[in-house]
Amino acid sequence: MYKTLKECLMLVAALPVFWAGAAQAQQNYKMQPEAIQSRWAKLVSPANALKEYPRPQMVRAGWTNLNGLWDYAITVKDAAKPAVFEGQILVPYPIESALSGVKKALLPTQNLWYKRNVQVSGLKPGERTLLHFGAVDWQCWVYVNGREVGQHTGGYSEFSFDITDALKAGSNELLLKVFDPTGAGIGPHGKQVLDPQNIYYTPSSGIWQTVWLEVVPEAYVKGLKLTPDIDKGILRLKVDAGEGFQVEAIAWAAGVSTGSVSGSPGSELALPVKNGKLWSPASPFLYDLVVRLKKNGKVVDEVKSYFGMRKISIGKDAAGVDRIFLNNKPYYNLGTLDQGFWPDGLYTAPTDEALAFDIKAIKAMGFNTIRKHIKVEPARWYYHADKLGMLVWQDLVNPNQGLPEGSKAEFERESAAELAQLHNYPSVVCWVLFNEKWGQYDQKRLSNWVKQTDPSRILNGHSGELLYVNEVLRSPSPDAYVDADMTDVHAYPDPMNSVKQPGKAQVCGEFGGIGVFIPDHQWLTGSAWGYIQEKPAGLMAKYKIMNQHLQLFEKQGLSGSIYTQPFDVEGEQNGLMTYDREVIKIPFATLRLIHKALNPDLQVEGAVQELSRRFASLEMTTKNADLTEPGILYSAMLDQYIAGKRDVPFLKKMAMMATQAGDKPGAALAGSAYIAGMKAPLSTEDINSVVAFTKSTKDVGFALMLSQADAFKKVLGERKYTVDMMNMIFKGEMEPMMNEKQSWEAIEARVKPFGAPAEEILLRAKVVAFYNQQDWKAYVPLAKVYLEKYGANLSEQEKGMFQGAVDQHQ
């Protein structure tokens, strides 16, 4: 009998051919400070950085994990290999993250370099060595002993190179050059932006998934394609391997063989699965699979995998309503919008336990579906979803929204890789092509391309093509949801039913986004972004009412819904849990009861209680939100302030609580005292706090922002710093002088000492004033100057408005 898949996944560095060089000295590593961190961050070290087997869908014993400390350097884009490296970085955490030990930004004008040595001994004739990368964002060149072994483009796809011919006995240098322009390039980059705020977040550049070596025979299995067919009781199987070989595949359940098939690599084989157990969120049964590559009857390679027998489709229920079907039965997809960010690792979960925690927590809440939003996760995330039982709507990572030349082709190339990479996971049931018109193009053609590429899944061709905010449609769409399998509306904050179209299921692909402030669990001081704000005590009732409306919509044909979102993310405070995964804002038990009416799995007798027992230990590690009225908590702090309490952490928290309680004078008082007590040099958290509590030139923080401009620009970015300064100058100096008898000369004299930001806000104020007054004689020449100097900073809509008025009245 062979080892089970679980046993194989626990193997580490089974063949002692490779070992780390001296760069692994743990004493050189220190996690960078962060405002908050998850409980798993403190467990991370160079000795244990994500040591689990990284490819659960195709397991071999002979592998070596290369996660750990590497040397790094940042250079200008056209520079040669650096002679001296700046320090060490903990792989696979992105360079911008605290867990990397670096926490530096990578700009579009720069390259990031990685280097480490690997000792090699005992290489055998006829064996090949593969160097694997789970993901590197975005473009990279790989060198072994000074020899280029390959290039790769795409921040979400796994890749590997055969480096055998570049290796030598003894010490071998691995070198990686990375270019990641984020939004300034042509590649898909998801929610990563160089100037993170609101619904956009910090980039994750460079290596962000496991790096590893694997020893394989000369001829080996390169890949598997597994497609279940429950109607015919077979698994459709394709094996990627060389010609002139034979393939044998055997399915196992609990150590007992349940079927086998033999054939040629590259051809579709039908592996019988008689009386198969079906996979579903309620019963996520997985078969083990062994695939052997043979030559003249002799096994030359063997890999272990797994599969689930499930079917996803659109069908008509007993009343003739088009709905989502799972395993040939209607199944309401009750989901939440998971974005996969971490306060300490950004794109990279601190540990494998943390990676699985998110899925467990979402399941414990009573959801059966995750919409994985604008991100492709590591292979082990989907493995955990398969094992735990969770449906996944997988977003393709949208093209650059500006669609610069080359971005369409790059989107399609990277999307093809994503479709292939995630094909075998039974949890993935739906592809989401576009989201809210972000980079939308050729929707009909691309919808049909996705469906032809993978007919085994349903297609959400455009989630939120119709987007409503406060019941107002953002923009019409004349041929909405063309050739998709569902119609998908986004409605914030309150859910809506989507339009009915023949043969398509109706879903509400996003709703909610309720911002709830939880003291001491914020990534950004003073930020509690959400579509609406609610106090902790009010969230439960609001959320229950939303779900009651979903029940009404379900009776009218709604087949799925996605709540925004399970966890806070950076400046967004609209999760059901805090960003550090410490506080649940509605108790798990309450969420399960609310969700019971829509989740078919919870309607089975005893299911709610069983879910509670299953995740009892997880729930014990989280705290329920304090439902005390924020004003009462703040009032108690104000008493302490009056009594003389003035320590810096207290003042920071008091300023935040005052903001939430609506006491603007108290927020200004505590915020000013907090800023005044800061000590140089200012940390990133200090700088973000100054910005949060500085609204005008009259506030204490403004002088700090002026005198330490370089430090603020480094953290905020040049443009955000300029915009913040412009707003403060307008609020503190210009607004009091803006009236019917305003003197532009007097205003200019007043703001001139503040330099470039004052010059821009003054010109903008004049242009807007003359536009509103319809003083076209004064407007046209100033608007031309403004558009020429600052047009690149404007949205297309605003630029069009100003330019249109110029064209009409010049």
Residue 528 has pLDDT above 70, yes or no: no
pTM to 2 decimal places = 0.90
pLDDT for res 11: 37
Tokens in use for 559? 């087949």
Q: Is the four-CA dihedral 276, 280, 282, 288 of positive or negative sign?
A: positive
pLDDT for res 793: 83
Residue burial 446-458, b: 16+ Cβ < 10 Å; e: rest: bbebbbeebebbb
Quote the CA–CA distance of 438 and 401 in Å, as a whole number.
Answer: 5
734-761 confidence digits (pLDDT tens): 999 987 677 899 999 999 999 999 999 9
Give the least confident one: 291-300, 523-532, 785-794: 523-532
Query: Residue 733 has what DSSP assignment?
Result: I
Identify whether the C-beta of residue 392 lies closer than 8 Å to the C-beta of residue 560. no
Residue 8 has pLDDT above 50, yes or no: no
Q: Percent of the chain, pLDDT > 70?
A: 96
Residue 10 has pLDDT above 60, yes or no: no
462-499 confidence digits (pLDDT tens): 999 999 999 999 989 999 999 999 999 999 999 999 99
**Beta strands of 254-311 (E only): which ranges?**
256-263, 269-272, 287-295, 298-307
List the domain boundaries for the chain. Answer: 5-215, 223-307, 325-624, 678-809
605-623 confidence digits (pLDDT tens): 999 999 999 999 999 999 9
Residue 590 has pLDDT above 70, yes or no: yes
pLDDT for res 196: 85
719: left (phi over 0), alpha (psi -120 to 50) or beta: alpha
808 forms beta bridges with none
798 contacts: CB under 8 Å, gap ≥ 6:
none
DSSP of 590-632: HHHHHHTTT-GGGGSTTHHHHHHHHTHHHHHTSEEPP-S-HHH
pLDDT for res 21: 52
Residue 2 has pLDDT above 60, yes or no: no
The highest-confidence range among 377-381, 524-528, 650-654, 706-710, by mean pLDDT, is: 377-381
Distance of CA 433 to the CA centre of its chain: 16
pLDDT band for position 551 (cuts 50, 70, 90): very high
Q: Does the 223-307 domain belong in CATH 2.60.120.560?
A: no
Neighbours of 4 (CB within 10 A): 15
The CATH number fitting domain 5-215, selected from 1.10.3720.10, 2.60.120.260, 2.60.40.10, 3.40.50.300: 2.60.120.260
16 contacts: CB under 8 Å, gap ≥ 6:
122
Quote the CA–CA distance of 430 and 423 in Å, as a whole number.
Answer: 11
Average pLDDT, the chain: 93
692-730 confidence digits (pLDDT tens): 889 999 999 999 999 999 999 888 888 889 999 999 999
Residue 587 has pLDDT above 50, yes or no: yes
pLDDT for res 260: 97
565 upstream amide cis, omega within 30 of 0: yes
395-440 confidence digits (pLDDT tens): 999 999 989 999 999 999 999 999 999 999 999 999 999 999 999 9
pLDDT for res 730: 95
The CATH number fitting domain 325-624, selected from 3.40.50.280, 2.115.10.20, 3.20.20.80, 3.40.250.10: 3.20.20.80
Q: Are strands 558-564 and 532-533 parallel, antiparallel or unpaired?
A: unpaired
Helix (H) or strand (E) segment spanning residue 549? helix 536-555
- Cα Rg of the chain (Å, integer): 28
pLDDT band for position 17 (cuts 50, 70, 90): low
Query: In 3D, which of 239, 246, 238 has the Cα closest to residue 268?
Result: 238
CA-to-CA dists, residue 242 to 213, 245, 412, angstroms: 21, 7, 27
pLDDT band for position 659 (cuts 50, 70, 90): confident
pLDDT for res 661: 85
pLDDT for res 291: 98
Cα angle: 327, vertex 329, 333; to 5 degrees:
85
pLDDT for res 26: 55
Residue 15 has pLDDT above 80, yes or no: no
265-317 confidence digits (pLDDT tens): 999 999 999 888 999 999 999 999 999 999 999 999 999 999 999 999 999 99
Quote the CA–CA distance of 1 and 256 in Å, as a whole number.
Answer: 9
